[in-house]
Structure 1
Amino acid sequence: MCALTATTLLAFDFGLKRIGVAVGNTFLKQAQALTVISAESNQAKFDAIALLLKEWQVTHCVVGLPSHPDGAEHEMTVRCRRFSNQLEGRFGVTTTLVDERYTSAVISAKRGEVIDAQAAALILQQYFDENP
């Protein structure tokens, strides 16, 4: 008998004010909006992330990587790469960056907490779709 194992992943839609978070696993390959982190300080944000990583027993995270429509990087691209590196360094998780250029076309142009978590779910779903 073969045992099936699933790995749980968290995805992050990083923003300076809010970080949208989604969850999914490699068995179902379906992303679900989870929460939004809107703490004031960076330390409080990373404390909230630490709790989520522990609760969901995550070893792999996905981070949305924004860029201009032509693929050129901008300030938030650099910040998202730094955030991804900080996740790896602080928590020992593997991170994968996923192009998020087209998630904003799917999600309404207005921003808000629910929208941030839905954007994270789209980022994670894109990862699942690209990694069968």
Structure 2
Amino acid sequence: MTIETIFAFDFGVKRIGVAMGNTMIRQAEPVKVISAIDNATRFADIQALLDEWKPARLVVGLPMHPDGAEHEMTARARKFANQLHGRFSLPVELVDERYSSAVISAKRGEVIDDRAAAIILQQYFDTH
């Protein structure tokens, strides 16, 4: 069995949460929150993480309405996933993130995007 590092992203317009784990331990851990002003900075930060950790695949949370209907952020997350694949030539999988935010109870103003990414990655591990 080959052990792979996997990165997950909780995409947001202002912030992107990042988590990582591997296929042996199958435990997701928050890594960082990228607060990017523009796409160039955002993808440079992602490139630095990928260079450091060398993941074999990427996972992106796919936001949807509770009934499964898509909305504006669904399309944005899909576009982000396509950009990751195009820029970094790594396989990218989408994971339904409808209930990931509900699992996290946070104080007002607390940045939780990296923990949301960890929940998304844990959902990936639990279903694959």
* Range into which the TM-score falls when normalised by the shorter chain: over 0.9
Question: With structure 1 as the length reference, what TM-score do the two structures score?
Answer: 0.92
**Which residue in 1 is equivalent to 2:53?**
56
In structure 2, list runs of 5 or more residues that go unmatched: none
Determine if the alignment matches structure 1 residue 6 to structure 2 residue 8.
no
Match of 1:35 in 2: 32
The aligned amino acid for 1:69 is P
TM-score (norm 2): 0.95
Task: Decide which of 80, 84, 89 is 1:83's aligned counterpart.
Answer: 80
Match of 1:102 among 96, 99, 104: 99
* Aligned residue pairs, count: 127
| Alignment match, 1:92 | 89
Identical pairs, percent: 61
Letter of the 1:65 counterpart: L
Partner amino acid, structure 1, of 2:73 = M
Residue 13 of structure 2 is aligned to residue 25 of structure 1: no
Q: Does the 8 Å CA contact 1:59/1:92 hold for their aligned counterparts?
A: no
Partner residue in 2 for 1:74? 71
- Are residue 47 (structure 1) and residue 47 (structure 2) matched? no
CA drift of 1:112 comes to 3.6
Aligned-partner residue type, residue 21 of structure 1: V
Runs of 4+ in 1 over 2 A off after TM superposition: 108-113
Alpha-carbon contact 1:22-1:34 (below 8 Å) kept: yes
CA distance in 2, matches of 1:51, 1:100: 25
